[in-house]
């Protein structure tokens, strides 16, 4: 066909399209909208942290499995600590790259990549014939966990409303502990198998769970804030309407939310982009909150219990399968405790929960230390359960929630990257040292972590703000770091940006005249009827 004729036909078609009037009712609806869509997304994204919880739990039971010890030549405490902690090294590497990956590829694709890495690592572990290969598999799985653990809270924060953020963030943590508890009970069931399958089945299960998340990632909506940040305005408005306005793109609620986020995006462009170091310099208070929440969540001692619970119970007098059973019962109590902050995170607020939990954890660790010294095995189980419950109410869910929500949109990927890296560095230190210290100083280790618990209470009281009930764009009111201040600009706006903002690039920086253009019904109709959209349109 003649190229000129083809161009002429395309031009005529475009002119015809522009004459068509589109009414709100002409725009195709979505299958899931409003709260059902939000709950579906929240539950599915919880698989991200389910995988992390599963990885915490399954190895704690495998290391006391007699067939595992025989297969891998009865590894020493140092070797066990290294294989456990190597996962944190992989997670640390990918968490530091989270800024680049999550910002450039989006939250959905980052989740997809994390799920693939997790499954690949699980496959390597399943067929490992020595500790080196097992450690390699743990490292690869850790790379996946690093991406997932950083992306999931950030995604949850960005799709939630101000009045739902605490609830959904805590639901996500419940998914983490469900993964932990599931792995413990699977290990317990497999302990009745006489042979290497008793530990290889739990290893192989990682592949199955990872593939479920990978397939499900195609059904997720993209973060509306990421979409607007990258000028996918039509899809961004559609997602906002689906989440908050029952799919009505012309709704004032959807348009107001769109305008608020887009104004923030345009203003952030005027201020300039931030790398990791610039994020720390520009928002030191917020970054400190995000990173310290992860630091204390680990050094308050949770992974001494999570990674090494069977060893803790063995040291207290329980042996073999009984130690596994006690670990499993403890995990059920732990899981139930995570239901409490579903409501309290919004009614009490974040700060009271963190302070209350820090006090309860510190006291519990002191009592665990005393009862371990006296070999009161039943009391050890009791106080470990109390300790886990205190963590499940407070530092577990709130530690992952408060960091992403205090970070501004332009710094959320960078700040979350630093916070997640802090988590994995702390995780590595605790995971590496715990089996050695449990062997060397035994009950005294719990006293060290109790000091961290009481310190965390003071930090929260004096440094942390209360964030309940505020939208992400309203967090500015809690800080004096001048998110909207033009003096914070790291570079002058480009000519294109200046035209968008309505300013003269030759003049000194000043508050821009922001004019947000809401996508027309025609452009939204074209987007919704485009057959090339991803299969996420099956759901949204």
Say what the pTM is.
Answer: 0.78
C-alpha 28/C-alpha 22 separation (Å) is 11
Contacts of 251 (CB under 8 A, 6+ apart): 241, 245
Q: Give the tokens for residue 116.
A: 């693939």
CB of 315 within 8 A of CB of 369?
A: no
How far is CA 498 from each of CA 44, 199, 260, 494, 515, rounded to the nearest angstrom? 40, 61, 20, 6, 12
Instruction: Look at residue 525 in the predicted model and tell me its pLDDT.
Output: 60
pLDDT in 10s for each residue of the chain, 540 residues: 444 543 454 454 444 444 444 444 444 445 677 778 888 888 878 888 888 888 877 777 787 788 888 888 888 878 887 887 788 889 889 988 887 888 888 888 999 999 999 999 999 999 998 999 999 999 999 999 989 988 888 888 888 887 888 888 898 899 989 998 998 899 888 888 888 898 899 999 999 999 999 988 888 888 888 898 888 888 888 888 888 888 787 888 888 888 888 888 887 777 666 777 888 888 999 999 999 999 999 999 888 877 666 667 776 677 777 877 888 888 899 899 999 999 999 889 999 999 999 999 999 999 999 988 888 878 888 898 899 999 999 999 999 899 888 988 778 878 888 998 898 899 888 877 887 887 888 888 999 999 999 999 999 999 999 998 888 778 888 887 655 443 333 344 444 344 444 445 445 445 556 666 777 666 666 666 564 444 344 444
CB of 54 within 8 A of CB of 210?
A: no
C-alpha 273/C-alpha 30 separation (Å) is 34
Instruction: Look at residue 528 in the predicted model and tell me its pLDDT.
Output: 61
Instruction: Look at residue 300 in the predicted model and tell me its pLDDT.
Output: 93
Residue 447: count of CB within 10 angstroms of its CB: 15
C-alpha 303/C-alpha 271 separation (Å) is 40
Residue 507: count of CB within 10 angstroms of its CB: 8
DSSP labels, 6-75: HHHHHHHHHHHHHH----GGGSPPPSS-HHHHHHHHHHHHHHHHHHHHHHHHHHHHHTT-HHHHHHTT--
Instruction: Look at residue 514 in the predicted model and tell me its pLDDT.
Output: 63
The alpha carbon of residue 351 and the mean position of all alpha carbons in its chain are separated, in whole angstroms, by 20
C-alpha 68/C-alpha 131 separation (Å) is 11
Instruction: Look at residue 292 in the predicted model and tell me its pLDDT.
Output: 96
Residue 509: count of CB within 10 angstroms of its CB: 17
Contacts of 6 (CB under 8 A, 6+ apart): none
With H, G, I as helix, E, B as strand and everything else as coil, classify residue 330.
helix
Measuring CA to CA, which residue among 262, 311, 294 is closest to residue 60? 311
CB of 44 within 8 A of CB of 220?
A: yes
Q: Give the tokens for residue 400.
A: 């992952």
State the Rg of the chain over Cα: 25
Consecutive H or E run containing 169 = helix 165-190
Instruction: Look at residue 499 in the predicted model and tell me its pLDDT.
Output: 43
Q: Give the tokens for residue 177.
A: 């502990």
C-alpha 333/C-alpha 348 separation (Å) is 22
Instruction: Look at residue 524 in the predicted model and tell me its pLDDT.
Output: 65
How far is CA 69 from each of CA 29, 63, 75, rounded to the nearest angstrom? 57, 7, 7
CB of 242 within 8 A of CB of 220?
A: no
């Amino acid at each position: 066909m003649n190229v000129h004729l083809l161009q002429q036909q395309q031009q005529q078609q475009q002119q015809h399209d522009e004459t068509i009037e589109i009414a709100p009712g002409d725009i195709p609806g979505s299958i899931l909208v409003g709260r059902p869509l939000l709950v579906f997304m929240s539950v599915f994204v919880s698989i991200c942290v389910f995988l992390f919880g599963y990885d915490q739990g399954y190895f704690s039971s495998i290391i006391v499995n007699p067939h595992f010890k025989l297969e891998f030549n009865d590894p020493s405490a140092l070797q066990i600590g290294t294989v456990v902690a190597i996962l944190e090294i992989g997670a640390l590497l990918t968490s530091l790259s989270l800024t680049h990956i999550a910002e450039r590829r989006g939250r959905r694709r980052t989740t997809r990549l994390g799920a693939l890495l997790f499954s690949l690592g699980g496959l390597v572990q399943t067929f490992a014939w020595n500790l080196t290969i097992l450690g390699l598999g743990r490292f690869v799985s850790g790379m996946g966990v690093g991406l997932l653990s950083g992306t999931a809270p950030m995604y949850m924060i960005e799709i939630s409303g101000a009045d739902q953020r605490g609830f959904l963030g805590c639901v996500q943590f419940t998914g983490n502990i469900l993964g932990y508890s599931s792995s413990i009970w699977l290990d317990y069931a497999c302990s009745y198998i006489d042979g290497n399958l008793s530990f290889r089945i739990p290893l192989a299960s990682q592949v199955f769970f990872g593939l479920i998340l990978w397939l499900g990632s195609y059904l997720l909506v993209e973060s509306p804030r990421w979409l607007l940040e990258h000028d996918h305005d039509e899809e961004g408005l559609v997602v906002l309407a689906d989440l908050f306005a029952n799919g009505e793109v012309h709704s004032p609620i959807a348009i107001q939310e769109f305008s608020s986020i887009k104004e923030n995006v345009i203003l952030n462009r005027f201020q300039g982009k931030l790398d990791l170091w610039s994020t720390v310099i520009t928002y030191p208070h917020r970054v400190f909150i995000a990173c310290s929440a992860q630091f204390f969540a680990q050094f308050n001692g949770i992974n001494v219990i999570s990674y090494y619970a069977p060893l803790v119970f063995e040291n207290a007098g329980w042996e073999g399968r009984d130690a596994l059973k006690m670990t499993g019962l403890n995990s059920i109590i732990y899981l139930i405790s995570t239901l409490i902050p579903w409501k309290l995170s919004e009614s009490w607020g974040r700060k009271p929960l963190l302070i209350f939990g820090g006090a309860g954890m510190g006291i519990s660790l002191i009592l665990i230390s005393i009862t371990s010294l006296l070999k009161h095995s039943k009391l050890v189980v009791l106080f470990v359960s109390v300790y886990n419950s205190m963590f499940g109410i407070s530092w577990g869910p709130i530690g992952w929630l408060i960091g992403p929500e205090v970070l501004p949109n332009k710094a959320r990927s960078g700040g979350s990257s630093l916070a997640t890296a802090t988590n994995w560095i702390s995780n590595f230190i605790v995971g590496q040292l715990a089996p050695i210290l449990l062997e060397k100083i035994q009950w005294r280790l719990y006293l060290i972590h109790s000091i961290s618990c009481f310190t965390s209470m003071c930090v929260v009281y004096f440094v942390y703000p209360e964030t309940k009930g505020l939208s992400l764009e309203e967090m500015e009111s809690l800080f004096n770091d001048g998110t909207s201040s033009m003096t914070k600009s790291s570079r002058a706006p480009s000519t294109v940006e200046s035209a968008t903002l309505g300013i003269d690039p030759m003049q000194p920086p000043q508050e821009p005249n922001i004019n947000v253009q809401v996508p027309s019904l025609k452009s939204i109709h074209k987007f919704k009827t485009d057959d090339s959209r991803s299969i996420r349109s099956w759901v949204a």
